[in-house]
Structures are given as C-alpha cells and as structure tokens.
Amino acid sequence: MEEVFEQPEVRELLIEANSVQGFSLKGLRTAVFVSECESKNRVILPPPHYAEHTEMVLKKFLEYEDEMIQELIEEGVIDGM
C-alpha cells in the first residue's frame, strides 16, 4: 500500500487538515474535488453521530410534526434525539 501513496498522482489527493475539535486529520479526497481543496486553511468536519440529523430530516423534508416524531420514538422506530 505504501508504494501507492508514493505516486505523484496519488499524493495530490492526500489532504491534511484540522478538525473543528482542533486535532490534525489526514485523508484522501476524490479527484473531482482536487481544485476545490487547494486551500491550506481547510477544516474537516467529523461525520455526524448516529441519528444526529433524524429529527431535522423528518421535520424539514418529510414535514413530520413533533407528535408524530414522538410516536416513532415511543414505538422504537427511531432513536430519541
């Protein structure tokens, strides 16, 4: 695997940035976003926690009311937020 990352084409895809928590992260970007990621002051956001956006999705995109969401929580269909 090491020899893969020695290739110049692949090295262009490696990124290093600070997380919002302040620690350094290393990652691999896709070729599609190479030009967008040239900034050295980039911040990488962590992935969302399990069920972090469930309530927002249900309300905003599915137009669920609070009562319906609470019912789903009580029935164990979704986790409480």
Strands annotated E in 1-81? 14-19, 24-28, 43-44
| Mean pLDDT over each residue of the chain, to the nearest integer | 80
- Partnered with residue 24 across adjacent β-strands are 18
| Higher local confidence (pLDDT), 49 or 36 | 49
Mean pLDDT of 1-7: 78
Separation in Å, CA 60 to CA 30, 57, 71: 30, 5, 17
Q: Give the global pTM.
A: 0.50
